[in-house]
Structures are given as C-alpha cells and as structure tokens.
Structure 1
Amino acid sequence: MQVSEMMTWQPTAAIVIFLVIYAIWITDQLNRAMIAVIGAVLFLLLGLVHWQNAYTTHINWDTLLLWMSMLVIAGVMSRSGLVHYAVIRSLGWTRSNPLLLFVILMIWTALGAALLDHVTIIILMVPVIFTVTNLLKMKPAPFLIAAIITSNIGGTATLIGNPANMWIGTANPQLTFVSFVTMLGPLMLILLAVNLLLIALLYWQNFRTASHTVRTLNLEQEVTSSIENRKLAFLVLLVFVLVIAGLVIGSWLDLRLSIVAAAGALVMLVAAIATGAKPLSILRHLEWDTLLFFAGLFILAGGLVETGWIQTGARYLIELTNGDMSWVALILLWTTGLLSSVMDYMPWIAVMIPLVQDTAVQMGASTPAVINPLWWALSIGAGIGGSGTLLGSAAGLIAASMADRRQQRLGYLEFLRVGLPLTLISLLIASWYVYTVVL
C-alpha cells in the first residue's frame, strides 16, 4: 500500500486507536483484557476489520484452545501437589548446602516453566522458596530474582512454555513441539548455566554466610503435606506424561497440538472430579482474562493487516536491511528483547506475527524453513527480554506480588540491578547463537 493510500481515514483511525490502547496497556492501570476487547469492538464497529474475517481468519482458534487447555492442565497439576512434592523431595539430595539448594530449585523452575508455563511454575515455586530461605535464614530476594529469570528462560525452550511461543507455534504448523526444543533448547541451557553462575557470584557472600549458619534442613513436614490425594497425583502424572508424549509425536502423526492438549485437559479435569475435586474450584482460578486478551489482540492485529500497516512495516523492514535475513533476525531479536523488558510482549507479538508473514511474502521466501530464523528470533527476544525489569513478564509481577503479601518486598530497582545486565548478556549470547546456529 502506498503512503497516499495510507492517509485515508481508516488506516489513520486504526493506528491511532492501536497506539492509544498500547499506551493504556503500558500504564498497567486498567484491566488489559477489557481494554483489548474495547479496542477490538471499535475496530469492528468502524469497519477496520471485517466481521467475517475476524472470526474466520484473524482469530487463531488453535492458539486459544491450546492456551485454555494448558491453563486447565496447570491448574489441576497445581491442585494435585505433585510439583511441590517433587521439588521438596529432591532438596534432600543437597544435604542442606545453600548453593546446591539454590541450583536445584532453579533447575526445577526452568523445567516446570518449559513443561507447564512460566506463570504457573512461579506460583508453585514462590511458597517453596520462602520455606527454604526461612529455614536457611537467608533473604529470599536472590532466589526470587533467579526464579523469575529462569522461568522466563525455561518457558522459551518449548512451544507450551509461554504465550508467545504458543502463538508463534500455532500460527506456523511447521514449528512443532520438537522443533522448538531442538532449536531453542540448547540456547536456553547455555543461558540457564550462565545466568545461574552470575547470580551465584553476585550473591556469593549471602550463600557463604548461610552455609555457616545452617545445620540440617528439615523439610519432612513439607513433604508429608504436599500431596493430600495420592490417587489424583498418580492420575495427573500419568495423563501429563501422555500429553507431553502426544505433543512430541503429534507432528509425526499430523495431530493438531491444541487437540492433544485439549484431550489431556479434559481427562485431567474428569480425573480431578472423580477423586473429589470440585470443577468450579479449579476453573475459577484459571486466567480467563488472558483468553479475552488474546482474542482482542487477534482482531487488533487483523485490523492493522486490513488497513495496510503490516504490509508497509514489512516493506520498510526489508528496505532497511536490504533483504538481508541476518539483519532482519537480529533487529527482531533486539527490538523484541528490549521492548519485552519494559512492557507485556503480547501486543508486540500480535503485530510481529503478521509482519513476519508478510515479510516472507515480500522477500519471496520459497519455503517456510527460509523464514523460520525470524520466528526463532522473535521467540527468543520475547522470552529472555522479559527478565530485564519486573514489568517485563507476568512471572515477575506475580512473584513480586506474592513477596509483598509476605512482607518480603522485592523492589523494582533491586531486580533491575541484576535483571537488566543479565538480560543484555543473554541477548548478546542469543545474537551469537542466532547468527551462527539458527541462520
């Protein structure tokens, strides 16, 4: 679309409404789902998005189904106490060594984020962190900061680890669960090791002091109280293993990942009900707002596509980089990473997915694999960029809120002092990885 065509009232109205909504999101003063829905309704009423296109083209129902299914699975697993039990039981291996306790907890956090999602694992791990640090007589801040960073890293390693990956994966059928793990997994392992090492060095004196004061860490009461319903825990574990197996082999059997996850969620919910759980008590605590937020974002992004902004942005990106795939990928990585440090990345992802798709068309990408490096760059930037500040990810905001309720405030500047330098280091390492391995 030419510049003259872009100056008609509809494209102008679309970009003005979108920028106003984005500004409101940044302030974080109003419910983001409500604002997204209001924006989507305005787009529909003004004809910036055709009603039929919104339903049939722009809203990705696979993404919504996958996200809802993972919410149910995570909710039932949280209720079962299985993750809490496994974490507490594994801490017995450390023989009360504070540094080993720290490493084990963070490995569990990263693994949980990869297999559930980064928000769920933070909700599960923060109470464990307070229990352990209280017994160690340590301040919880080093553990909380590390948990936020490692949950963001772990969540980036798989298709189901964070909303950005789910959206990117369901928008591109060639990006399977296995491809996320094989392409992003090695980088996330490197980043996990580097970040844990640097955090341990930053707080070395704290760990050293704790090692002199602690004798024996008694977590037996925590272990015995973790699982109240053993039958439910066993069924949940069995179904979860089957879901992960289904996600792994789904691409080989041409199964939609959303259907696999939905089947697992339904079986888990039925198992929970059969063992005495009340379905409403599980469903009530799920993040239903996020589904509305997703739906609103789909329509807003669709409006930017229909009014020509996405095509124009893709053309300018190609002109800026002279069509060099390496530069496009690195620009996406750093722009996404830096923006994700200061605000929720989902509105940015909503715009970037159609932009990357249009870039592929304008660059004449012959196969989806040619454009895949741009998807990986977008995913990496969104995942690790969220660790730059407390505002960068839902995991950070939730951990800080849970700390406040326990009168153990995690300050914005305290996190920034650690999170921002580590994020910049992670982006540098990721740039090397994208340039040498992905491209």
Structure 2
Amino acid sequence: MRQRHVSFLYIVIFLAIAGFLAASAVLAAPAPAGDRLSISGLVTDPMGKGLKEVEVEVLVNGQHIKPTGKEAEISTGKPGGFVADFILPPGTLPAAKVEVKAAKPSWKPIPATPVKVVEAGADAQGNKLFQAAQNLTLNRTITPGFWIASLILLLVYVVISLELMHRTLVSFLGAALIIFITYTLGTWDKSFYIISFDEAIGAIDLNVIFLLMGMMIFVGVMKKTGMFQFLAYKAYAMAKGNVFVLVLILQVITAVVSAFLDNVTTMLLMIPVTIEIAVTLKINPLVLLIPEVFASNVGGTATLIGDPPNILIGSYANLSFGQFVQNLALVCSVCLIITSFFFLWWHKKDYLKAEVKDIPRTIAYLREEYQITDKKLMIQSLMLLGFTILLFALHGFLHMPVSVAALVGSLILLAISGEDIVEMLEHEVEWPTLVFFIGLFMVIAGAEETGLFQMIANWVKDLSGGNLTTAIILVLWVSAIASAFIDNIPFTATMLPIIAFLNQTIPGAESGVLWWSLALGACLGGNGTMIGASANVVTVGLAEKAGYHISFITYMKACWWPMMITVTIAMVYLLIAY
C-alpha cells in the first residue's frame, strides 16, 4: 500500500513539472510577426450615457477579425467602453479599410463604420503599431421584447392590485419569466431578447436590500428592551388620550424624522410604536400607519437624504443639502399640514371607535405596564442607532452607502448584545418583503432595458416644446403618476439626462426648477399606491406580519387623492415661485 502511494506521488510531481515546463515554453515563445492594431471607443445612447454589453465587431477589408487572445466578440463594459488588440499580416496597415459595427438587443444596430487608423511606432521586435479610436451612438428601437417586458410589468401590477397571488410570488414570477424568455425566444431571435441574467442581478439595488435588513435587525433587538411600548405610552400621555391629536403628533414626528433619516428607516422605527398604540386604543393599526407612511414620504421629499430619488438628483446635478431645504421644505410643510387633516377626516369613523375611557387611569396603567425592561440593551441600541444616523448624515462627505452604515451598526449591536443572529434572521428580518423587492427590481429592469422609461422621458422632452411652464407641469405629473406604479429610483435615473438637456435648451430652466419638479413628482407620487415607494411596501409587509392585512385597492383609495392633492400643491408652488 505504501509503495502504491509513493508511485502515485511521483506521477503527480511529474505531471506538475511537465505542465510547468509546457506553460513556460508557451510564454517564452515569440509572438507572431505582423502589424499590431489597437482599437478603443465608447458606445453611448443619444443622451451620452454609456451602454454595457454592446457587441462590437471589427472588420478589415470587409472580413471579420477576432481580437488577440479572445474567442468571443468584443463587448462593452459597464461605462460603455471597449478596447481590443489585433495582429494582422505584415503590411496590411495602413492601406487596409478598417471598420467597426455595434449591436445590442432593443437598439438599432450600427452598420460598418470606417475608422481612422494612425501609426504609433514599432515594438521591440520591429512590428508596426497602429491605433484607432471610434465612439458610437446607438438609438432605441421597438422590438417584441419591449412589448413582452412592458406586458409582464403591467400584469405584475394588475395581479398585485387584484390580489390574485401574493405580491412576492407575483414579482418573482415576473422576473423569472423575463429571464426565461431572454434565454429561449431571445436565443432564437434577438428581437425577443429582454435582459441577461447578469444584468437582471445587477439591477437589484442591494443598497436598499441591505439597508432594510440592517434596520430590521436594529428594530428586532430594540423590541427586546421594551422601548417601543414606553414610547407608545409617552405619545399617548402627550396627546392626553385624544386620538386625533395623537394621530397628528405621530405624523409630524414621522415627517420630521424622515427628513433626516431615509423614510424606510423611519417607518421601521415607527411601526412597532404605532402598533402598540393601536393595540392600546383597540383600533386597526393601519389607520395610523397609512397616514404615517404618507407623512414619511412627504417629509423625506424636503431634504437631500430623505428619499433615494433626491440622492440621485443631488449627486447628478451637484445640488447641496441646503438647496433642497431652501426649495422644497416650505411646499412639503404645506402638503403635510393639508394631508394630515385629510386623513383625520378620512379615518374619522375609525378614530371615534378608539377605546378611550378614564384617561388618567389609562395613562397610569400604561406607565406601569409599558416600562423599559432592559435598560443596558436600550442604551447600547440607542448609542449605535445614533452612530448609524451620524453616518447617514455624513453621506455627502463620506460617500458611504446607507446600507453599509445600517449593516455595521446593526451587526455591532448584535455582537455586543449577545443576541442570537440566527433567531434575528429567522424571526425579525421580513424576508417576503426583501424577496418582493428583488423580483420587482428585475421586472422593472427588463422594462427599462427594452426602452419603456426612455420612451416616457423622450415623450416628456418632445411634448414640452421648449416652453418652461409646460415642461414643469409635464415633468411633475409624469413623474408622479409613473412613480405611483413603478419604482421611482430607475425612473428618476432615466429622467436625469433628459432634465439636464431641458435645462440647457429651455429659456428660464437654468434656475433648476425642473430638478425640483422631478424631485417633487417622483417622491410625492410614490404615495399613490402601496408599491409606489419602498417605505409603503415595508409598512404593508410588517403590518401583515403582525396580522393586519390591507389590499392594494383599499390602500390606493386612502392615498391616491391625498397624493393628487400634494402634487397639485407642488405644481402651484413651482409655477408661482419660478
């Protein structure tokens, strides 16, 4: 047995040495003689945005040539750039005709385009070096893939609104269908191609997913301290048992906090407190949660860091925190006041059903029952929550994704508190909500990749006709209605270059009013439906987890008209102020 092992070892050593010598021989072998050609370029859309996964083909005298050391075609990277090197027979250049072609599903292919080749010296072996650079612009085209992706997106929303299936299953099924069609019909005919698996995975906004996960862990740990019950008692005592005053207090607190935290984080912190208050009053928590999440979206609209679309706009247009507050805080305050009283009227019957008897005795009872149960853990939680909020506030300086701050804070809290991470992940992280977001991001990416959002953006640009008033109204209302039904993050990202173009071409737009139109439309419009904003989805998901279900239609009935009111107020403000 020992001799067999030794023999096997000798064989392994021999094969390793042979492989090393063969590799060395290949590396030492001189490269074949010939002209060296290096071609580079950038492929963009008409607005100058780089396009990835564009197939680029190089032709010499009409014949396709392959890059050195590569078998596949040349493909652009994420910024839209490509670089390729070729070895041609000696003397081919510069006389030969060199051309490039480019193609990508859902875009009009670029036919063979001549490129200028420039001699750039010679290498150590005497081979001549040549360089060429060619930038290309692709234009959209309507394909069967466009109609399929748009139809799937529409069906996802219809099925969710009619509650024919659970929204998580619907969004994930839609994502799976889009990718399945890409690799079946799209392989047979490129016009059916929608989005690759890699692009679909890349479309998942992990910043949102990990932010939610981190803050859910925070809330899960803080629940164990009794802090949320204590805050519920304090809010009830502050309102002195008056339900209407209590609702106003909750909305104002939520809006103010959302201006400095993102609205998703704010709702994750407010939901447990609100549910405790509702249980005390013996009313459905949703009649408190819906006005709160509406207020969180309005409050988040007022600042640079309050809502993801604002972060995108601020980064693209180089707008400061102060500029957002200066231009949006007033109109958001007016919207908050008016919609707060709207919800008092809308849910009046529910609030009147609240059990409010012997208020002093109830307050005394709550003071006794709703006490802090773990003061040490509460202090640890608040310190790390404060640290996390500080990192959020320093986003403009550190450029740290908010998800990193949330994960670092929550995981440090888990480590020092000794809480079981398995229990937290199993019971406190709302996985159906996270999976819903993952599926929805991929479905929306399919529609975006095939050109749906670009079509909407171009329609806004063409219809404005160079008139500032028309442009303000169009940008505001199109953004609002679109954001009520599709995620406002990719829509905002698509609109950014359009707004930049309009700012340069429409007289008077240099004031930046169209940026504020986009911010108000995208953020306020998200209030219209339960899937219009991330905070809405999180609120509905956690309410369901606590046993309180609300349908798509019921949510829309409660929020659609106040959303329309806020957008109308925003329109009047923009037209008067600018």
Corresponding position: 1:320 with 2:459: no
Determine if the alignment matches structure 1 residue 424 to structure 2 residue 568.
no
Question: Is the contact made by 2:231 and 2:273 (CA closer than 8 Å) also made in structure 1?
Answer: no
Alignment of 1:216-295 (within 5 A): 216=360, 217-218=362-363, 219-220=366-367, 223-224=370-371, 228-251=373-396, 253=397, 255-258=398-401, 261-284=403-426, 285=429, 287-289=433-435, 292-293=438-439
CA-to-aligned-CA distance 1:158-217 (integer Å, 9 cap, x gap): 455455455x35863725555545543333222211111233345567767869844233
Distance 1:186 1:96, change over 3 A: same
1:335 CA displacement: 2.5
TM-superposed CA distance for 1:110, in Å, is 2.8
Q: Which amino acid aligns with 1:354?
A: T
Structure 1 equivalent of residue 332 of structure 2: 188
Q: Comparing both chains, which one has the higher relative contact order based on Cα–Cα distances under 8 Å and sequence gaps of 6 or more? A: 1
Task: Give yes or no for the alignment of 1:79 onto 2:218.
Answer: no
Which amino acid in structure 2 is aligned with residue 19 of structure 1? S
- Separation of aligned partners in 1, 2:213 and 2:557: 32
Separation (CA, whole Å) in 1 of partners of 2:302 and 2:331: 8
Aligned CA distance change for structure 1 residues 223 and 409 (closer, same or farther; 3 Å): same
CA distance in 1, matches of 2:195, 2:559: 42
Distance 1:158 1:178 in 2: 8
Q: Distance in 1 between matches of 2:349 and 2:194?
A: 57
Q: Do the aligned residues in 2 keep the contact of 1:232 with 1:272 (CA within 8 Å)?
A: no
Residues 87 and 105 in structure 1, CA contact (< 8 A), matched pair in contact too: no
1:353 aligns with 2:490: no
- 1:301 CA displacement: 6.0
Measure, in 1, the Cα distance between the counterparts of 2:394 and 2:380.
Answer: 21
Counterpart amino acid of residue 386 in structure 2: V
Q: Give the equivalent residue in structure 1 for 2:130.
A: none
What is the match of residue 149 of structure 1? 294
8 Å contact kept, 1:156–1:165:
yes
Q: Does 1:304 align with 2:429?
A: no
Paired with 1:380 and 1:362, the residues of 2 have a C-alpha distance of 17
**Mapped pair 1:434 → 2:541:** no
Distance verdict in 2 for CA 1:414–1:247, change over 3 Å = closer
Aligned to 1:380: 520
**Deviation for aligned residue 1:100:** 2.2
Per-residue deviation, 1:141: 5.9
Listed one character per residue, the Cα deviations across residues 401-430 of structure 1 (whole Å, up to 9, x for unaligned) are 766777776576765554333222211111
Deviations 1:238-293 (A, max 9, x none): 33333433443443x4x2141x6514531431222221122344445155426634
Aligned residue in 2 for 1:98: 243
Separation (CA, whole Å) in 1 of partners of 2:350 and 2:525: 27
Alignment of 1:358-377 (within 5 A): 358-361=498-501, 364=504, 370=510, 373-377=513-517
Residue 321 of structure 1, CA deviation = 0.8
Aligned to 2:474: 331
- Matches for 1:111-190 after TM superposition, within 5 Å: 111-119=256-264, 121-122=266-267, 125-126=270-271, 128-136=273-281, 142-159=287-304, 161-162=306-307, 164-165=309-310, 168-169=312-313, 172=316, 174-175=318-319, 179-190=323-334
> Which AA in structure 1 matches 2:399?
R
Between the aligned partners of 2:456 and 2:548, the Cα distance in structure 1 is: 45
Instruction: Give the gaps of 5 or more residues in structure 1.
Output: none
C-alpha distance in 1, partners of 2:353/2:251? 20
Cα deviation for residue 144 of structure 1 reads 4.0
Compared CA separation, residues 289 and 141, structure 1 to 2 (3 A): closer
Q: 1:222 to 1:386 in 2, by over 3 A?
A: farther
Rg larger in 1 or in 2? Answer: 2
The answer on whether the counterparts of 2:179 and 2:195 sit within 8 Å (CA) in structure 1 is no
Q: C-alpha distance in 1, partners of 2:455/2:275?
A: 50
Q: How much does 1:76 deviate?
A: 1.1
Q: Is the 8 A contact 2:251 2:291 kept in 1?
A: yes
Q: 1:274 to 1:145 in 2, by over 3 A?
A: closer
Q: Which has the higher helix share?
A: 1
CA deviation string 1:43-96 (max 9, x = no partner) = 6866668979959xx9579x6336523541353145313555445434322222
CA contact (8 A) 1:49 1:302 kept: no
User: What is the identity, as a one-letter code, of the residue corresponding to 1:149?
Assistant: F
Contiguous gaps of at least 5 residues in structure 2? 1-44, 47-106, 110-138
Secondary structure of 2:359's aligned partner: coil
Which range moves more in the overlay, 141-150 or 122-131? Answer: 122-131
What is the identity, as a one-letter code, of the residue corresponding to 2:438? L
CA shift at 1:155, angstroms?
3.8
- Distance (whole Å) between structure 2 residues aligned to residue 264 and residue 120 of structure 1: 9
**How big is the shift at 1:331?**
1.6
**CA distance in structure 2 between the partners assigned to 1:372 and 1:14 by the alignment:** 36
Q: Which amino acid aligns with 1:16?
A: W
RMSD (CA atoms):
4.5
Q: Secondary structure at the match of 1:172?
A: helix
Whether the 8 Å contact between 1:336 and 1:381 is mirrored in structure 2 is yes
State the Cα distance separating 1:379 from its structure 2 match: 3.4
Q: Which amino acid aligns with 2:296?
A: S
The correspondence of residues 378-417 of structure 1 with structure 2, limited to 5 A, is 378-390=518-530, 392-393=532-533
- Could you say which residue in structure 1 is the equivalent of 2:119? none
Map of 1:65 onto structure 2 = 207
Aligned equivalents of 1:354 and 1:74: distance in 2?
30
The residue type equivalent to 1:278 in the other structure is: D
On the 8 A contact 2:483/2:525 being kept in 1, the answer is yes
Q: 1:339 to 1:363 in 2, by over 3 A?
A: closer
Report which of the two has the higher share of strand.
Answer: 2
Q: Assess if the C-alpha contact under 8 Å between 1:122 and 1:148 holds in 2.
A: yes
Q: Identity of paired residues, percent? A: 21
Deviation of residue 320 (structure 1)?
A: 1.0
* Secondary structure, counterpart of 1:323 in structure 2: coil
Query: Is contact 2:174–2:443 with CA below 8 Å preserved after alignment?
Result: no
Q: Is residue 39 from structure 1 mapped to residue 178 from structure 2 by the alignment?
A: yes
Cα gap change, 1:182 to 1:80, in 2 (>3 Å): farther
Deviates more, 1:401-410 or 1:176-185: 401-410
Pairwise CA distance, 1:334: 1.7
Paired residues in the alignment total 420
3-state SS, counterpart of residue 450 of structure 2? helix
1:103 partner letter: L
2:104 is matched with which residue? none
* Contact persistence 2:281–2:356 (CA under 8 A): no
In 1, Cα distance between the equivalents of 2:456 and 2:464? Answer: 12
| Displacement of 1:19 | 0.6
Paired with 1:340 and 1:274, the residues of 2 have a C-alpha distance of 40
- 65 and 119 in structure 1: CA distance in 2 versus 1, 3 angstrom threshold: closer
Cα distance 1:247–1:128, how it changes in 2: closer, same or farther (>3 A)? closer
